[in-house]
Amino acid sequence: MARTTSAGNKTTQQLETTIAGDGLAPVKPGRPRRFANYASALKFLDSKINVERVRPKNVEPEVFKLSRMQAILAAMGDPHHSPRWIVHIAGSKGKGSIVEMLAACLGPQGCGYTVGVFTSPHLIDVRERIRIGNDWIDEQDFVSTLGHVAAAAAVIEDDYGPATYFELLTAMAMRYYAERAVDVAVFEVGLGGRLDATNVIRPTVSAIGAIQLEHETILGSTLEAIAREKAGVMKPGVVTIAFDQDKQVLDTFETVAQETTAELRLLGRDVDFSSRFESTPELGPHTRVCLSSSRTSFEHLPVPLKGAHQSLNCGLVLAILDELRAHGLESPERQVALGLERTLNAGRLEQVWDEPRILIDGAHTPESVEATIKAIGAHMRFDSMVVVFGCAADKNVDEMLQRAAIGADKLILTRTSDNPRAVKAEDLGRRLESLPSIGPRMAQVIPDVREAVNTAVRAVGRDDLVLVTGSFYLAGEVKKLLQEAKNKRAAQQIEAKD
């Protein structure tokens, strides 16, 4: 029997499957909470439950509660209904790439729309998560928006429980985009889909990328279970676009689509799509994609992100644009192509240092680590590669280690300094030694991230590569360290000239 709450006569189960704003009476929040400055706002936010930094076994079921998110938004007048077009992106891997390519196509350098972009996690600064185009929310707006959201969360806390870190940020994005009157809002799912805080929106179109085993303690231990959670973003009458993958996954998508009366479309089956890999003097090795329908003809567009796997992600983007056209959004082929060229690649085979070349990539599943290694081999020339690796404890650690070790000439095992979920570097070393199929492998255990990167740099020559991967948080920590090093070097050069 479903539990009842004090929110009228609706059950918690009913509330968690209702589109936000349907049946929830608005509650007038008190005055916005006042924060002295940006630092105090961050301190307040960091005091909240943050699932991204908690071991899965310690996550209480009450953390995932759509009714709380709906109530917060109702107290603010349901700002998430404001944008004319809303896109929802789910998946185990690749959803961030899909979001970035779509935002680039739609934004000022592409089709000319004002685009709200909500992503997670962040690499360096939490403000990265709430953007309009490529511009982060500024500190003043961050403080003001959090004040309004905190006030709404306080009003409903007795009935629904305390808001989490991710819920507050999601509500902030929704309010901020409403205030700025964005044309399009693109939301990346945080965790899962069905009970993710972003799943209160009523999207114009949804898309689901690759499904892989991840967050098994929370989402389930099988591909079917995880696919069902991800497919929770499907809504009645709304088109959801996906691509061909494991049969168990697709069967689950079909079942959920029937249950929710959503329309499921697959690339290559319901939408004409093709891709090919080539190399040209202008672009070097790259993939081109084509997609056509009665409304659309995208011909031989270069995929802006490296790796064969990105062709399917790019295909989803073009299919999303095709569906948005049916809802009145204009996306001329030339403007789409211009925007696509300008896609951000933060944390996705991003080169963050030039001499030696240091790449960061947020790959965090065995399949994505393998795809990253293959993409480097296909797109870059180098003599040898040192991989700096660290990952979270709730991942498939052994398989990730195996894929990373196979692609590396030397492996340096480390641990993100500020994430309790990260595996200790010493444990990674022991697990690597226990993998019989790898054989002899040059590896070092260096717990300190800064020292790990410095060791990698000392181990490579001019024509070599350093790859940092296994965790978005590790990639972010290294990017921050190198950014500080660049700033210090620039300051020294200015001082020397003076």
The per-residue DSSP string of 237-299 comes to T-EEEE----HHHHHHHHHHHHHHTPEEEEBTTTBEEEEEEEEETTTEEEEEEEEE-SS-EEE
More confident: 87 or 10: 87
What is 12-341's CATH number, 3.55.50.30, 3.40.50.1370, 3.90.1150.150, 3.40.1190.10?
3.40.1190.10
- Residue 297 sits at the vertex; the CA angle it makes with 295 and 301, to the nearest 5 degrees, is 145
Span 316-345, average pLDDT: 97
**Averaged pLDDT, 159-165:** 95
Q: For 482, how many CA atoms within 13 A lie in the half-sphere containing its CB? A: 25
* Residue of higher predicted confidence among 343 and 308: 343
Reading the block at residue 84, the tokens are 């004319």
Give the pLDDT score at 490.
Answer: 78
In the chain, where does the domain assigned CATH 3.90.190.20 lie? Answer: 350-497
Ranges in the chain annotated CATH 3.40.1190.10: 12-341
DSSP designation for 230: H
Please give the average per-residue pLDDT across 13-23, as a whole number: 40
Amino acid at site 233: V
| DSSP-assigned letters across all residues of 413-465 | E---TT-TTBPPHHHHHHHHHT-TTT-S--EEE--SHHHHHHHHHHH--TT-E
181 neighbors 82 (Cβ within 8 angstroms): yes
Residue with tokens 């200015």: 494
pLDDT band at 179 (very low <50, low <70, confident <90, very high): very high
Q: Are 192 and 218 in contact (CB under 8 A)?
A: yes
CA gap 392, 39 in Å, rounded: 27
N-to-C CA span, the chain: 75
DSSP state of 389: E
62 versus 301: the higher-pLDDT residue is 301
Euclidean distance between CA atoms 474 and 389, whole angstroms:
8
Please list, in sequence order, all residues whose beta carbon lies within 8 angstroms of the beta carbon of residue 74, skipping any fewer than 6 positions away: 20, 21, 24, 25, 26, 27
350-497 under CATH 3.10.20.30, yes or no: no
Nearest to 189 by CA among 205, 207, 162, 216: 207
What pLDDT, on the 0 to 100 scale, is given for residue 63? 81
Q: Which two tokens stand for residue 474?
A: 């590790």
Helices (H) and strands (E) in the chain — how many of each? 16, 17
pLDDT band at 9 (very low <50, low <70, confident <90, very high): very low
pLDDT of residue 494: 77
Q: Which of 15-19, 121-125, 154-158 has the lowest mean pLDDT?
A: 15-19
The pTM of the full predicted model, rounded to 2 decimals, is 0.91
Per DSSP, the three-state class of 196 is: coil
List, for residues 96-151, the tens digit of each pLDDT value: 999 999 999 999 999 999 999 999 999 999 999 999 999 999 999 999 999 999 99
Least confident of 60-69, 91-100, 238-247, 313-322: 60-69
Q: Which residues pair with 358 in a beta bridge?
A: 353, 466
